[in-house]
A and B are shown apart, each in its own frame.
Chain A
Amino acid sequence: MNSLEGKAGLYVHVPFCAKRCPYCDFSVVVGRTDETDRYCQAILEEARNLQWSPPIETVYLGGGTPSLLTPTQVESLVKGLRSQLPIERTARLHLEANPDDVSEDRLRGYAEAGVQFLSLGVQSLQDANLDFLGRRHSAEASRRGLKWATSAGFSTVSADLIFGWEHQSLNSWLEDLKDLLILGVDHISCYQLTFHRETPFGQKLKQGKLGELANAEQRIFLEKTHELLDREGWMAYEVSNFARSSVHRSRHNMKYWNGSPYLGLGPAAHSFRNNERWWNRRAYGDWLQTVEKGGIAIAARETLTPQQRLLERLMLALRTTQGFSVPSLELQYGITLPLADRQRFGEWAKSGYVTWDGERLRPQFRGMAIADALAATIRWPDENLN
């Protein structure tokens, strides 16, 4: 069994933002940045109230805008968490940052506070696109930020890019990618713009004021991205996550895809362990009040059958180049792979969607691109337990 599978990841949500981007549907609170200390206290309070035993080897500060916390706050928060939760000494610390919050000093500060994986929310290196996306920063600020970041002492510097709106230029996109490579990033995540109904973008889409990039074109964006980075010697380890080399992969995110347990703290955060998943209340004020009163701010939970867990493993594994091992999953969930699926995997291999050696199935790009459709056809999770 892969050593990364068993141990847990810790996700800490930092909901503060200077403003809400028009496409964002995360749990975010605008302003109230004078409450950050109080918030960190509440996080520790939440951690204290939970019973969590699996050893934690990654800590991810996401948001919102975690870079609204100072390096000192980050350091003391992580220290506090270490005292409440079984976090390993060598745990990797991830932090998300916005280009408009970072200065050379601040970034160095984070690195010194122990952050190893820094992710910068670049989204695009074209000002016109940033304008469209309602981002506060300029392309120049991103370039500067990346330059500082790559010399601040992080193990991995990552940039996020967004694609998927109508009329987006493929050429600019590829230029952005090349620029990121020149700027020396170690990791790239591509986010597909999703038009959630309740967001301003979602409303505009409904009103026909803006459009999505057609499915066929989205495919091309992804395909070209994979090709370009592949040529540069990078590895695509998930359909939209790329690392310069295997050491730069996001160990934390991989936990979501390989069935590892994870604990989420903060509003709307999700947790998973054994066959239980639960998630926190979404509204900042609501969460804060509940936790400060000594309560646990869980909004809902679900208990999963082995079949459901197997289905999740398959649907997630089909997005990754690592894929899945049939004997391993058979053992873990006690359900045997039906013959029909064996034949199916063989056909997929013939069509170039995956490689399949009878035990391990590894998706190729073509397979990752239609991972959902492939996951829908596997009979395995419908089988009975042995």
Chain B
Amino acid sequence: MNKIRNFCIIAHIDHGKSTLADRLIQKCGGVKDREFRNQILDSMDIERERGITIKSNSVTLNYRAQDGEDYQLNLIDTPGHVDFSHEVRRSLMSCEGALLLVDAAQGVEAQTVANLYLALEYDLEILPVINKIDLPSADVDRVQEEIDSDLGLDPFEAILCSAKTGEGVDSLLEGIVQKLPAPEGDIEAPLKALIFDAQYDPYRGVVLLVRVKEGTLRKGQRLRFMHTDKEYTVEETGLLKLQREEANELTTGQVGYLIAGIKTVRDIAIGDTVTDAASPAAEPLPGYKEAKPVVFSSIYPLSTDEYGDLTKALDQFALNDAALTYEKDSSTALGFGFRCGFLGLLHLEVVQERLQREFGLNLLLSAPSVRYLVYLNDGEVKEIDNPAYFPDPAQIDYCEEPFIKASVMMPERYIGTVMDLVRERRGEETTFRYLSPGRVELTSELPLGEVLFDFYDRLKSVTQGYGSFDYDILEYRKSDLVKVDILVNSDSVDALSQLAHRDKARQRALHYCERLADTIPKQQFKIAIQGAIGGTIIARKTITAFRKDVTAKCYGGDISRKRKLLEKQREGKKRMKMVGNVEIPQDAFMAVLKTDSN
């Protein structure tokens, strides 16, 4: 066990995390130079594009240290967004140490700080690493100074390296062995293994990524999953090298994979504790939280004959995404679709983007919503997350919405702007305290509905990236809820309806009207876009009709070009949805995801 090191790499975007990971893999003989492919761990296009990690990944490296001993280094990759804080926490819980990467030219930046805060919460041993020393603009002295003053870490501990050239990587590997602690745990104790991720392999079923905290996990062993209360037998286990490498057992301190005849990821829970069925552990590992969907939206195929394809795609997708919930739904405006539940807005965006990209679908989304409680006059209580089912206000006694306790960590200079932001989002009981000189934690109770809509992005914006955010669900509280309808030329488009707090209704409605007015193209007649509560119009935007579009010249040489342009336009029209007389492009429905830009 003392030859094992479990660690992750945390860094600001583009400070070289992925390159360093690749370099470590290469150095430990995981891959021949020839086969070296950049950024082996980041596997999705979307992840690359947004510069974030969504799925956890892990790799085991064999390293022969200078002391002549062989060490097992487990590099665990971590997702970086609050929607997936579940996965982030599980991954961090699986490590004992973290390499905190800082770009030698850029220095300590926002995410460096934010990620450090997170790692400290899990008591990880931090090893600072100054990367990109090969750059002409590298200023190691300055960065060391920043590591001291901004991060409060010992700058002389920092290892200097260049993942690109390979310089210093040997020292880094030594540093991992010497400075990061080995895992602890009782090898004789009953098995306790943490599931920190799960993947679906079409040939083998679900592959679980686990960290063994106590005891030993063996092939053939009958396991008990403590939170989902199910039992499975270990078909195969082993280490996660670049390919899976089978082994007879995984012992305390090790990270590896587990295959146990599990059909879909929906049968297990990330963060669950796995123990022996015959002699189980007394209690599961602490900190388990069920990942429950909090934001709901309906997804429709743009063309009704793609409904079957959407069904298949969701089923396929769900094999690998346990958090996504979905059930059949329909809309007057958009036809048949699915009501889906997501962990958060980023989760929603990633899912719809992947569905469109990987399955070639064209999708429309309804306005996202949280789940509300509606108390009717006759005593009945309804759970409503779909505006279409919001009861007639005359029947409603009162409503409640879910509140969260939000915790924002940031450098103290941002207290003012963050308090403004929180107030704007109807925050209550806002307080803050100092975690250490210069670093504050602000807590506030906010409606979940206000946090859903780009709160995280706004927070990053007002704290220039330095703020980090997490929340816990509190209870439901009374709320003055109204239903805002969006009408296009007097036709209510049910998919665009949303539930909002009365105080925010007009602002939301106006925002939607503006987004629609921007994305709906001019047509042969004027288009009135209105937001309404009941019969009262609270916002309005008009799109004027176009009256001339033909260029006054069309002779022999113009015809081909003109036809091609027309063919493109006609293709574009196929991606429009007719709502009444008005052609609404797919973009308009997606625009509802983009929120108020204050």
Known interface pairs A270-B560, A311-B566; A215-B546 also in contact (CB < 8 Å): yes
Q: Which residues of A contact B50 (CB under 8 A)?
A: none
B residues near A11, Cβ cutoff 8 Å: 556
Do B554 and A372 have beta carbons less than 8 Å apart?
A: no
User: Given known contacts A191-B553, A269-B557, is B567 in contact with A311 (CB within 8 Å)?
Assistant: yes
Q: Is the CB of B556 within 8 A of A190?
A: no
Contact among A192, A216, A271, A312 for B563, CB-based, below 8 A: A312
Residues of B within 8 A of A353 (CB): 524
Which of B523, B524, B549, B556 has the most chain A CB atoms closer than 10 A to its own CB?
A: B556
Using an 8 Å CB-CB cutoff, how does the interface string of A333-376 with B read, 1 for contact, 0 for none? Answer: 00000000000000000010100000000000000111111011
Question: A370, B556: Cβ atoms under 8 Å?
Answer: no
Are B552 and A219 interface neighbours, CB within 8 A? no
Query: Does chain B have a CB within 8 A of A319?
Result: yes
C-alpha spacing A308/B560, complex, angstroms: 10
Chain B residue with minimal CB distance to A279? B557
Tell whether, in the assembled complex, residue A319 and residue B550 are in contact, meaning their CB atoms are under 8 Å apart. yes
Inter-chain contact B552/A190, CB cutoff 8 Å: yes
A302-B560, A311-B566 given as contacts; is B549 within 8 A of A373 (CB)? yes
Contact between A311 and B563 (Cβ–Cβ < 8 Å)? yes
Among candidates A194, A216, A271, residue contacting B553 with C-beta atoms closer than 8 Å? A194
Q: Contact at B552–A376, with CB atoms within 8 Å?
A: no
B546 to A370, Cβ gap below 8 A?
yes
Cross-interface CB contact of B570 among A253, A268, A376, cutoff 8 Å: A376
Is A270 touching B562 in the complex (CB atoms < 8 A)?
A: no
Which of A191, A215, A316 has a CB less than 8 Å from the CB of B548? A215
B573 at the interface (CB under 8 A from A): yes
Q: Which residues of A contact B523 (CB under 8 A)?
A: 373
In the complex the two chains form, what is the Cα distance from A163 to B553 in whole Å? 12
A264 touches B556 (CB 8 A): yes
Task: Let me know if B34 is at the binding interface, CB within 8 A.
Answer: no
Does B551 touch A at the CB level, under 8 Å?
yes
Q: Does B278 contact A (CB under 8 A)?
A: no
Check if A28 is an interface residue, CB within 8 A of chain B.
Answer: no
Min C-beta distance of B573 to chain A, whole Å: 6
Whether a CB of chain B sits under 8 angstroms from the CB of A315 is yes
* Contacting residues of chain A (241-260) with chain B, CB-CB under 8 angstroms: 253, 256-257
Q: Indicate whether B156 reaches chain A with its CB closer than 8 angstroms.
A: no
Residues of chain B within 8 A (CB-CB) of A369 are 547-550
Look across to chain A and name the residue whose beta carbon is closest to the beta carbon of B574. Answer: A382
A316, B554: Cβ atoms under 8 Å? yes
Contact, CB under 8 Å: B566 / A376: yes
User: B522: nearest residue on chain A (CB-CB)?
Assistant: A373
Contacts of B569 on A, CB cut-off 8 Å? Answer: 372, 376
Q: Report how far A256 CA is from B569 CA in the complex, Å.
A: 22
Q: Could you tell me if A372 and B556 are in contact, using CB atoms closer than 8 angstroms?
A: no
A312 touches B559 (CB 8 A): yes
Is B573 a contact of A239 with CB atoms below 8 Å? no
Contacts of B203 in A (CB 8 A): none
Q: B555 within 8 Å of A by Cβ?
A: yes
The smallest C-beta distance from A336 to any residue of chain B, in angstroms, reads: 19
List of B residues within 8 angstroms of A277 by Cβ: 559-560
CB distance from A323 to the nearest CB of B (A): 14
- Considering the chains assembled together, what is the distance between the CA atoms of A377 and B524 in angstroms? 11
CA distance A302 to B561 in the complex (A): 12
Q: Which of B564-580 contact A (CB under 8 A)?
A: 566-567, 569-570, 573
Chain A, residue nearest B573 (CB): A376
Residues of B within 8 Å of A117, CB to CB, are none
Least Cβ–Cβ distance between B53 and chain A, in angstroms: 41
Most buried by A among B554, B566, B573: B554
Chain B residue at minimum C-beta to C-beta distance from A9: B556
* Nearest CB on B from A235, distance (A): 17
A377 contacts which chain B residues (CB < 8 A)? 573
Nearest chain A CB to B208 CB, angstrom units:
50
Name the one of B548, B555, B570, B573 contacting A256, with C-beta atoms under 8 angstroms. Answer: B555
- Assuming A369-B548, A370-B548, is B553 touching A240 (CB within 8 A)? yes
A296 at the A/B interface (Cβ < 8 Å)? no
Contact status of A215 and B557, CB under 8 A, knowing A222-B552, A372-B566, A376-B570:
no
Interface residues of B in 140-179 (CB under 8 A from A): none
Q: How far is the CA of A256 from the CA of B560 in the complex (A)?
A: 11
Interchain CB contact under 8 A, A192 and B566: no
- Asked if residues A351 and B557 are in contact (CB atoms below 8 Å), the reply is no
Q: Which residues of B contact A123 (CB under 8 A)?
A: none
Does A218 belong to the interface (CB within 8 Å)? yes
Is A324 on the interface with B (CB-CB < 8 A)? no
CB distance from B551 to the nearest CB of A (A): 5
CA distance A164 to B548 in the complex (A): 13
A315 touching B556, Cβ below 8 Å? no
B529 to chain A minimum Cβ distance, whole angstroms, is 20
The listed residue with most A CB atoms (<10 A of its CB), out of B523, B548, B553, is B548
In the complex, what's the smallest C-beta–C-beta distance from A272 to chain B, in angstroms?
A: 7
Q: Are B550 and A194 closer than 8 Å at their CB atoms?
A: no
Contact indicator per residue, chain B 525-554, by CB within 8 Å of chain A (1) or not (0): 000000000000000000000111111111
Q: Please indicate which of the listed interface residues A163, A190, A253, A256 has the most CB atoms of chain B within 10 Å of its own CB.
A: A256
Q: How far is the CA of A216 from the CA of B570 in the complex (A)?
A: 24
A192–B551 contact, CB under 8 A? yes
Quick one: given A253-B555, A264-B556, A376-B570, are A370 and B550 in contact (CB under 8 Å)?
Answer: yes
Query: Are the C-beta atoms of A219 and B547 separated by less than 8 Å?
Result: yes
Smallest Cβ distance from A205 to chain B, in angstroms?
15
Please give, as numbers and ranges, the residues of chain A lying within 8 Å of B560 by CB-CB distance: 270, 277, 279, 302
Q: Which residue of A257, A271, A351, A370 is within 8 Å of B547 (Cβ)?
A: A370
- B547 partner residues in chain A, CB cutoff 8 A: 215-216, 219, 369-370
The reply on A16 being an interface residue by CB < 8 A is: no
- In the bound complex, residues from chain A placing their C-beta under 8 Å from that of B573 are 376-377
Least CB distance from B526 to A in Å reads: 13
A262 contacts B by Cβ under 8 Å: yes
A270 to B562, CA, bound (A): 14
* Cβ contacts under 8 Å, B563 to chain A: 308, 311-312, 315
Q: CA–CA, A190 to B551, complex, Å?
A: 10
Please name all residues of chain B whose beta carbon is closer than 8 Å to the beta carbon of A190 when the two chains form the complex.
552
CA distance A375 to B550 in the complex (A): 11
Give Cα distance in the complex from A311 to B559, angstroms.
Answer: 11
Nearest chain B residue, comparing its CB with the CB of A216: B547
A307 and chain B: residue at smallest CB distance: B567
Of chain B, the residue at the smallest CB distance from A353 is: B524
**Residues of chain A lying within 8 A (CB to CB) of residue B557:** 264, 268-270, 279
Q: B556's contact among A194, A215, A218, A262, by CB below 8 Å, is which?
A: A262
User: CB within 8 Å of A: which of B502-536?
Assistant: 523-524
Given A262-B556, A269-B557, A376-B573, check contact A371 B550 (CB 8 Å).
yes
Contacts of B524 in A (CB 8 A): 351, 353, 370, 373
**B377-391 with Cβ < 8 A to chain A:** none
Alpha-carbon distance between A222 and B553 when the two chains are bound, in angstroms: 12
Q: Which residues on the B side are within 8 Å of A312 (C-beta)?
A: 559, 563
For B45-86 the 0/1 string (1 means CB < 8 A from A) is 000000000000000000000000000000000000000000
> Chain A: which residue is nearest B547 at the CB level?
A219
CA of A215 to CA of B549 in the docked complex: distance in angstroms? 8
The answer to whether B556 touches A256 (Cβ under 8 A) is: yes
When distances are taken between beta carbons in the complex, the residues of chain B under 8 Å from A239 are 550, 552
A222:B548 contact, CB within 8 angstroms: yes
Contact B553 A315 (CB under 8 A): no
Chain B proximity of A268: nearest CB distance (Å): 7
9 smallest CB-CB distances across A and B, nearest first, come from A240-B552, A192-B552, A219-B548, A270-B556, A371-B550, A369-B548, A372-B549, A270-B557, A219-B547
Given contacts A216-B548, A256-B555, 6 further A-B contacts (CB under 8 A): A164-B552, A222-B548, A240-B552, A277-B560, A315-B563, A368-B550
- Which B positions have Cβ atoms within 8 angstroms of A? 523-524, 546-557, 559-560, 562-563, 566-567, 569-570, 573
Could you write out 15 A-B pairs with CB less than 8 Å apart?
Answer: A163-B552, A192-B551, A239-B552, A240-B553, A262-B556, A269-B557, A270-B559, A312-B559, A312-B563, A316-B554, A368-B550, A369-B550, A370-B546, A370-B547, A373-B524
